[in-house]
Amino acid sequence: MPATKDYWPLVLANLKDRVTTDNYQAWFSRLEFIKTSNQGRKITLSVPSSFSKKYIQTKLKDQLMDSLNKFYPQVIHLDLVINQNEIQQEQVKQQVLANLESPEEAPQSSNTSKKFKTSYLPGSNLNNLNPKYTFDTFVKTSNTELVHNVTKAVSEKPGSAYNPVFIYGGVGLGKTHLMQAVGHKALENFPNLNIKYIPCETFVSQFQIAIRSRTMDKFKEHYRSIELLLIDDIQFLSGKESTQEEFFHTFNLLHQDNKQIIITSDKAPNQIAGIEERLISRFSMGMVVDIDTPTVEDRIAILNDKTARMQLNLPDHQILAIAERINTNVRDLEGVLNKIQAKMTFSLKNNISDNELQNILEVNDPGSSVKIEYLNNPSGIRTQKILNTVCKYFGYSQDQILGTGRQKDVSLARQIVMWLFKYELEMSYPAIGKVFGGRNHTTVMHAINKVDSLTKKDTKLKQKINHIKSTSKKD
């Protein structure tokens, strides 16, 4: 059975989808996995402060446990411990910031200050690559064939094959996996290459620290010496003008020196709001490639590969049942397999009954039987086409559209789907609510009224919806 820590990144990714960006950054992003104990029933996580511990326990424990149980279904006890290293780093940080405000009392040349000023940037030998994310562990299917071939070519000739590479698509489809696979392969081919993988949010945080601590020269030197830059979720630059300015100059210098840049996002470059046109232009100047939601055949291939790696013995009809029911992304497929593996482990069996599988699928995808009923029967063909068209247009997965995420752009896409169901398919409010997991008809009414109101004021939005309508009617 894989090390239990391997599932922790999946928990964080699930939390990131479930809560607002601000809540994730404030309370969950700095949680760290420590161990599981008591035969897997207890999980221990570290938190950065006593305040964080108290807030999570009193306000966010249910959300955290829900995400934990998707990947650690046996966990029933949560233990939060305060990270002593975080406390020490915070003390150093506060001291240095105080020194910056009162230089006459504490000279900037102190050892403590120097330590802080450089500690927020990883060392030259720290590339942040996850050892699991390689080309060997990636299953190439029809929806990822192009992006797989492009990234493989880049790993063999970084800086000359395609530059930059911009990969976009919904959550859990393999963007991060392929990006980091390039890093691993390039490191094999060019052991001395300076490679850095970094989430965009980390870049933003480091930039802000550099400004506060007056270490911009260090920051610029660090990033402009990178030879293969892998930056994830670039949409988080949205609205951050000063950070965009710095990234623009960093991008230009790296690109002019033929240093390879790979970027991922949840949307195509021209669909990311709040990003300067000059950056959008640069993102689009190389190879822009999207990852679609996997087909049933793709999902079967992925499941067959992963069950073989996990040594799970599932008959073909159970593989098919999972592939048909979990029609969202690879991450959700992995979540189901993790639960099946846990079920087999704790029941001391090497198989699982069809009834047990059905229960797991229903727990993993609440309301999915209703979705399946409405989306997969013959009368629901147009329904599925509309949903697929909106997903592709906005760059979100079906799971995100049908889910409960409250991000502004996701909510708008969801409301547009409801609006189209009402006016294009003449579906009733309750019927639309059922497609969306049993939402109240008043929620559906509110969504449709909102889109009505927006289209009266926003001609561009009206044009987008007309485009989606016409596209969804094509064979």
Q: For a pLDDT cut of 70, what percent of the chain falls above it?
A: 86
371-472 CATH: 1.10.1750.10
Query: What b/e sequence results for 362-397 when a residue is b if at least 16 CB atoms lie within 10 Å of its CB, and e otherwise?
Result: eebbebbeebeebbeeeebeebbbbbbbbbbbbbbb
pLDDT-based confidence at residue 323 (cuts at 50, 70, 90): confident
pLDDT at site 99 = 45
pLDDT at site 381 = 59
Q: Is the pLDDT of residue 119 over 70?
A: no
Summarize pLDDT for 64-112 with one digit per residue, the tens. 988 888 888 778 889 999 876 554 454 444 444 444 444 433 334 344 3
4-82 CATH: 3.30.300.180
pLDDT-based confidence at residue 388 (cuts at 50, 70, 90): confident
Arithmetic mean of pLDDT, 313-317: 89
pLDDT at site 377 = 40
3 state SS of 172: coil
**What is the Cα–Cα distance from 371 to 9, expressed in whole angstroms?**
28
Q: Is the pLDDT of residue 457 over 70?
A: yes
Q: Is the pLDDT of residue 376 over 50?
A: no
pLDDT at site 417 = 92
- Residue 250 buriedness (CB in 10 A; 0-12 / 13-18 / 19+): buried
Helix (H) or strand (E) holding 88: helix 84-101
Arithmetic mean of pLDDT, 350-356: 85
Specify the CATH superfamily of domain 145-291.
P-loop containing nucleotide triphosphate hydrolases (3.40.50.300)
Q: Is the pLDDT of residue 379 over 80?
A: no
Q: Is the pLDDT of residue 124 over 60?
A: no
**What is the Cα–Cα distance from 419 to 424, expressed in whole angstroms?**
8
Least confident of 276-290, 291-305, 319-333: 319-333
Arithmetic mean of pLDDT, 414-437: 85
pLDDT at site 418 = 92
Least confident of 14-23, 53-62, 408-417: 14-23
DSSP string, 2-14: --GGGGHHHHHHH
For residues 45 and 143, which has the higher predicted lDDT (pLDDT)? 45
Q: Is the pLDDT of residue 374 over 50?
A: no
| pTM of the predicted protein model | 0.55
Per-domain residue ranges for the chain?
Answer: 4-82, 86-119, 145-291, 301-365, 371-472
In the numeric block, which tokens belong to residue 20? 């607002």
Q: Is the pLDDT of residue 458 over 90?
A: no
Cα 307 to chain centroid distance, Å, stands at 23
Phi and psi for 81 in degrees, rounded to 5? -120, 150
Cα 469 to chain centroid distance, Å, stands at 28
Which residues pair with residue 79 across a beta bridge? 44
For residues 385 and 230, which has the higher predicted lDDT (pLDDT)? 230
Arithmetic mean of pLDDT, 53-66: 87
